[in-house]
Amino acid sequence: MIKIYNDIGVSKTSVQHCLYSLKLHIPPNYRVGYISASEIIEGNGLEGVRLLILPGGRDLYYMQSLQHQGNKRIQDYLSGGGNFLGICAGSYYSGSYLVFAPGTPIEVIGSRALGLFQGVVKGPVLAPYYYGSYKGASAARVLITTDAQASYVYYNGGGYFVDADKVDHTTVLARYQHGEAAIIQCKYGLGRAILSGVHIEYDPYMMQAPSLQSIQKTLKKYNRQRIKLLKDLLALVSIQ
């Protein structure tokens, strides 16, 4: 069973792309469903879950909904051998400290209790972010560290993992064009977490917004590489 976190603050578009990409690219024996903050907090919601996904959205709402008990449940789940994928806001929330849009009206700065990555997640890294808009969106070039191959993946407001190379139990899997860590793997107890500042789940053939047409063209051209990247990342968290 794969569970996608779906509660207050989650981007419905990110959830839809997660569901679509998983159903297309994972073995048919895996079931995919949703999980709420209350189901995590109650303690049995993560039983039998092979992978927990925290998608894009708004980190502050994740913090308000999950609180201490929800974070502890996720930590215990990972410590016991669970797997985790945090995307964009899900990756911001998973560091021990967050710096988002400093010096702007949408600034968010502070510690985060989940702490799967024991370091700072800082962004936006490529362009300013605008809530409810695609103005800062782009097709981000990422270089995969394992095979030196490049891909273009949808980006809108994501961060990077500061000095990830120096953080214990952390491996950089992909970098932005100027070298910042874009995707990392963190070991946590017996479990593993993949954190991504880019939207690896976004399928360009599902994008509907007219303002994304130029981005969509690039993403379609590199969609095969994105799919390979997604499958390789899922394999690292035992989905293959």
Q: What is the pLDDT of residues 168-183, one digit of tens each?
A: 999 999 999 999 999 9
- Domain spans of the chain, in order of start: 2-236
Share of the chain above pLDDT 70, in %: 100
d(CA 92, CA 94): 5
Q: What is the pLDDT of residue 146?
A: 84
Contacts of 212 (CB under 8 A, 6+ apart): 134, 137
d(CA 230, CA 203): 11
Q: What is the pLDDT of residue 148?
A: 76
- Residue 199 reports pLDDT greater than 80: yes
Q: What is the pLDDT of residue 43?
A: 74
Averaged pLDDT for residues 10-34: 95
Which DSSP letter does residue 181 get? Answer: E
Share of the chain above pLDDT 90, in %: 95
Q: What is the pLDDT of residues 36-79, one digit of tens each?
A: 999 999 978 899 999 999 999 999 999 999 999 999 999 999 99
- The CATH H-level (homologous superfamily) assignment of domain 2-236 is Class I glutamine amidotransferase (GATase) domain (3.40.50.880)
Q: What is the pLDDT of residue 184?
A: 99
Q: What is the pLDDT of residues 106-150, one digit of tens each?
A: 999 999 999 999 999 999 999 999 998 999 999 999 999 988 789
As a dihedral over the C-alpha atoms of residue 46, residue 67, residue 192, residue 147, rounded to 10 degrees, the angle is 120
Averaged pLDDT for residues 206-231: 95
Q: What is the pLDDT of residue 161?
A: 99
Averaged pLDDT for residues 76-87: 98
